[in-house]
Amino acid sequence: MLKVFNSLTEQKEEFIPLDKGKIRMYVCGPTVYGPGHIGHARTYSAFDMIRRYLEYLHYQVNYVVNITDVHDDMIKRAREQNTDLFSLGKKYTDVFFKDLTALHIQPATVHPKVTEHIPEIISLIQILLKKRFAYETEDGVYFKVSAFADYGKLSKIKKTTQVTGLRVNTDKYEKHSAQDFALWKKVKTGEEGIASWDAPFGNGRPGWHIECSAMNLKHLGTQIDLHGGAQDLKFPHHENEIAQSEAATGKKPFVKYWLHSGFLNVEGEKMSKSLGNYIEIQDLLKKHSGKEFRFFISQMHYRSRLDFSWNELEKTIRSLNGLNLFLQRLQEVSKQGIVSDKIQKLTETARESFIAEMNDDFNFPNGWAVVYAFEKQVNKAMDLGNFSKQDTRIVLDFFKELDSIFEIFSWEQLTVQLTSKEKELIDLREKLRKEKKFKEADAVRVQLTQLGIQLDDTSEGLKIRKL
Ligand code: AMP
Ligand code: ZN
């Protein structure tokens, strides 16, 4: 039974999806005004592993990660760089997708962009206005927090403590209460020329929070199973999402389980450019591979705060190298032989224990502890000899399953032990190809396939794999 820690109830709860076998999952995406940093990489890698684990459990996951390509910080940045919001957004959306690929993060089912959802955002604001959860002023449309009784249920922030000390004008230009937040920002003097859209309540742009409510509604529906993001988004962003969505649809809860991942700090400090400890994803990838970073991330619970240091990363990579060597050894020692009950049982037990740990709120580190103990036992069995090809297959299958969740192993590095007959055939094929006798060469290749050897001619040369 899968249990997840729900930030809404602050408890581990049994996970029961709204629709049997299907999961609607949303994670707040990046604001695309600069290259991503390793904090973003942590958050999206952790949720990628969670999504893949849910798929491993055979759930059909409809996974949405939005792209915030309209934001006040973006407007500021576009001005500084003498460009416009759209070009800036396009540039860093491309960088984001490139980073995802390098980090082996699978694309979401959909990556909706704010610029492509303005009509949906406007309709949602209209509903909120009609239901009197929102009001219009000279400078925008605001959500009226006092009208939403459940406000604060996620962040546990009491309404009395929400007053931020902002000067609140009661005139028609400004919001009525410090807690109220912008749904729509009308174009002000001096803002001419920046991106804006026509709406019944005035030309302008959406506030930050409304996009996630609108995109959830459009791509996943009025109620969803899982909503994620890093801790910092709990308040005000997620609290405001709940208010907007539940006020508009009247359905609650908008989200059944809220998952909040831990922040990444660098050597004890919050990452910041002025402190000089700001590490972009591209800086990371100059030194280490995406798989190495993923492995590092997977050694920690997704909810724990992660204190990054290059030293710690390098230390962890040594464990990954150990696992890769183990996979290599597995293939080298395997002999012809019959499958032993022992390895099969050992693997089944390891798989069950791994799932039990992962079912406990995606406990990655405890899951890995099971894998390390299993590796030790298999190594012992290999030391004692009598390790058959089938044993190898059984153990490798389990490691392939792990890799479908974590995507960290270097399968391509596995060397293949060949018999003298297999070597002879490979040499013969090479000779025939050099002599341009392609038909004969192909016949040898078929012969090798029948022996369980797969040959791939790649741009880097011949790759040999055991099937
Ligand atoms: P942003 O682009 O800043 O809107 O952030 C996009 C996502 O990355 C959000 O879920 C943030 O909570 C998350 N995030 C930003 N900074 C960090 C960090 N240092 N550690 C972990 N997650 C972060
Ligand atoms: Zn969001």
**Model confidence pLDDT, tens digit, residues 349-399:** 999 999 999 999 999 999 999 999 999 999 999 888 878 888 999 999 999
**Model confidence pLDDT, tens digit, residues 199-224:** 999 999 999 999 999 999 999 999 99
Cα→Cα distances 240→21, 247, 259, Å? 29, 10, 16
Nearest-5° Cα angle at 432, 430 to 435? 110
Q: Is the CATH number of domain 3-261 3.30.930.10?
A: no
Per-residue pLDDT for 460 more than 60? no
Q: Is the Cβ atom of 228 under 6 angstroms away from ligand 1?
A: no
**Model confidence pLDDT, tens digit, residues 219-257:** 999 999 999 999 999 999 999 999 999 999 999 999 999
DSSP for 295-307 reads HHHHTS-TTS-EE
How many Å is the Cα radius of gyration of the chain?
27
Q: What are phi and psi of 56, to 5 degrees?
A: -60, -35
pLDDT at 410: 87
Taking a C-beta distance cutoff of 8 angstroms, is the pair 194, 279 a contact?
Answer: no
Q: Is the Cβ atom of 263 under 6 angstroms away from ligand 1?
A: yes
Among all bound ligands, the one having the nearest atom to the CA of 228 is 1
CA of 244 to the centre of ligand 1 (A): 22
Among all bound ligands, the one having the nearest atom to the CA of 210 is 2
Task: Report the b/e string of 57-95 with b at 16+ CB within 10 A.
Answer: eebebbbbbbbbbbbeebbebbeeeeeebeebbbbbbeb
Residues near ligand 2 ion, CB 5 Å cutoff:
28, 212
140 vs 453: CA distance, rounded Å: 67
Residue 349 burial by CB count (10 A; 0-12/13-18/19+): exposed, middle or buried? Answer: middle
pTM over 0.85: yes
What would the mean pLDDT of 438-463 be, rounded to a whole number? 80
Q: What are phi and psi of 433, to 5 degrees?
A: -65, -40
Which of ligand 1's atoms lies nearest the C-alpha of 228?
A: 10
CA of 178 to the centre of ligand 2 (A): 21
% of the chain residues with pLDDT over 70: 93
Which of ligand 1's atoms lies nearest the C-alpha of 229?
A: 10
Per-residue pLDDT for 145 more than 60? yes
**Model confidence pLDDT, tens digit, residues 300-342:** 999 999 999 999 999 999 999 889 989 988 887 766 556 678 9
Taking a C-beta distance cutoff of 8 angstroms, is the pair 461, 433 a contact?
Answer: no
**Ligand 1, atom 8: closest residue by C-alpha:** 40
**Ligand 1, atom 16: closest residue by C-alpha:** 39
Distance of CA 419 to the CA centre of its chain: 42
Domain locations in the chain? Answer: 3-261, 281-406, 420-466
Which of ligand 1's atoms lies nearest the C-alpha of 233?
A: 12
Q: Is the CATH number of domain 281-406 3.40.50.10490?
A: no
pLDDT at 467: 66
- pLDDT higher at 59 or 448: 59
